[in-house]
Amino acid sequence: MLFERIESPGLAHYSYLVGDGREAVVIDPRRDCDIYIDTATRQGYRITAVLETHRNEDYLIGSRELGERTGAEIWHADSQWDYRYGSPARDGQSWEVGGLRLEALHSPGHTPGHMSYVLHDPSGTPWMLFSGDALFSGDTGRVDLMGEGRMEEMAGLLWETIFHRFLPLGDGVILCPAHGAGSVCGGGSISPRSWTTLGLERRLNPALSYFERSLFIEKTARAHERPPYFERMEELNVQGPAPLHGLPSPPPLSPGEFGDRAGEGTVLDTRSETSFAPAHIPKALSIGRDAVAKYSGWFLPYHLPILLVDEENDHEETIRSLVRTGFDNIGGFLSGGMLSWLRAGYVVRSSGLISSEELCHRLDQGEQPFILDVRTERELDTVGRVPEAKNVPITQLPLHLHEIPCDREINVLCSSGVRSTIGASILQQFGWENVTVILGGTDAWSSTACPLEKPREEPEYTGA
């Protein structure tokens, strides 16, 4: 028997490989799909079917390439949309996998045609529930993707799905959702409890305490951020993303070559926040290595080649993150990193760096620096606000540039320094010259003159 959860960090995406008797099924494959073929083949399994839980909006699905390479059949959920490949899965349809059986369960709410799949053990007992984006560990799927006008309708459907279709399967059923903590597909509070069951969710998932349909709708029908790249993912997933056949291998570029191409592309600098600030290529966009999966879709344009700056010659993880969200056009990387650029005598830009401690000290001395706080509303509510700071969530920054003064030093604040550096690089791209990143962020905040202002009480439910 084969059961593997394949985790794609950054997107916090979980896909699954389930097999028995030499046949295997993949649920919600990612685009760089060699891992499923390799894992299955090495253990003697052949992939015969690919099951999708919904039309994904946050990454490119690997079904088409996986189908072409293995001969597996592809079964789509959300058949109300016009898929150009594969076949629609029907509620109640089932697939034999050796002695096991997978059964499709229509589970609308996140999308209208969302399907979950119940894995039955050879005795017919429900064993696992592949719940896609309907139910997560500690959270439920967001219901705002059909538009704010349909949020209550979708929330009602989700209530029905969870209380009438999922929970009756029994507390002992192992829950296998499509995402873990950090994903943008939940209500914002997916738990780090990385393995869970329906019983644990019944006890610990805040949303599952709203037995009453109208209360559930009231609590979960909320709008969330919608990254601009979602639309492209939705479109390409219906068409079928272009096959990758292995990862792209962008060429090393000398400083001269890199400089020549930089004018017609986007320079993406994935170095750490301390590395970026003192010296970077003019107009470079900073997204730290671990944040590429999450923020590329917000800030990178699709129509320009991407030129990478890093401190290593091995960009595999960065490239995986990029192609998973459709950024296939990677023009090269700066060979030898920034040091080679500097030794070649090319021009660099810098931004300021200040530790939270120093900034707090300045505040306590009575100074009044301009602080741009790029954290989310939720963080402001739960962690606390810096009084006097201007708040613009990092993802909204490009739309609110006109609200930022041009003639002052801008001190950018987040919880750590990672998003601040993204923000600082965006401001610099648009011409701001005096930009400083606050290292350590609110995590290290310690001003007595200007302490974090916490909300009066904890919000009752942080689930959605």
Find the shortest distance in angstroms from Cβ 231 to a copy of itself.
29
Residue whose CB is less far from a copy of itself, 88 or 243: 243
List the Cα angle 65/15/87 in 5-degree steps.
50
Find the shortest distance in angstroms from Cβ 431 to a copy of itself.
20
Specify whether the CB–CB gap between 79 and 52 falls below 8 A: no
Please, what is the angle between helix 292-299 and helix 316-324, to 10°?
A: 50
Find the shortest distance in angstroms from Cβ 384 to a copy of itself.
15
Residue whose CB is less far from a copy of itself, 29 or 417: 417
From 89, 18, 33, 78, select the one nearest 54 (Cα to Cα): 78
Residue whose CB is less far from a copy of itself, 227 or 417: 417
From 255, 283, 253, 250, select the one nearest 269 (Cα to Cα): 283
Find the shortest distance in angstroms from Cβ 398 to a copy of itself.
25
Residue whose CB is less far from a copy of itself, 37 or 426: 37
Specify whether the CB–CB gap between 280 and 269 falls below 8 A: yes
Residue whose CB is less far from a copy of itself, 277 or 323: 277
Separation between Cα atoms, residue 293 and residue 457, nearest integer Å: 34
Residue whose CB is less far from a copy of itself, 149 or 246: 246
Residue whose CB is less far from a copy of itself, 245 or 408: 245
Find the shortest distance in angstroms from Cβ 41 to a copy of itself.
6
Identify the sign of the CA torsion 240, 245, 251, 257: negative
DSSP 126: E
Q: Hey, which bits of 326-425 come out as E strands?
A: 330-334, 352-355, 370-373, 390-391, 410-413
Specify whether the CB–CB gap between 111 and 78 falls below 8 A: yes
Separation between Cα atoms, residue 107 and residue 115, nearest integer Å: 5
Find the shortest distance in angstroms from Cβ 228 to a copy of itself.
27
The answer to whether residue 176 is catalytic is no
Q: Please report where in the chains the tokens 């805040």 appear, as a residue.
A: 206
Q: Could you say which of 33, 176, 185, 414 is catalytic? A: 414
Residue whose CB is less far from a copy of itself, 113 or 259: 259
Specify whether the CB–CB gap between 116 and 132 falls below 8 A: yes
Computed over its alpha carbons, how large is the radius of gyration of the chain? 24
Neighbours of 456 (CB within 10 A): 5
Find the shortest distance in angstroms from Cβ 138 to a copy of itself.
10
Separation between Cα atoms, residue 29 and residue 10, nearest integer Å: 15
Find the shortest distance in angstroms from Cβ 37 to a copy of itself.
5
382 Cβ neighbours under 8 A, 6+ residues apart: 455, 458, 459, 462
Find the shortest distance in angstroms from Cβ 73 to a copy of itself.
14
- The distance from CA 336 to its chain's CA centroid, rounded to whole angstroms, is 30
Separation between Cα atoms, residue 190 and residue 180, nearest integer Å: 6
65 Cβ neighbours under 8 A, 6+ residues apart: 31, 33, 241, 243, 244, 245
Residue whose CB is less far from a copy of itself, 74 or 277: 277
Neighbours of 238 (CB within 10 A): 16
Q: Which residues have a catalytic role annotated?
A: 414
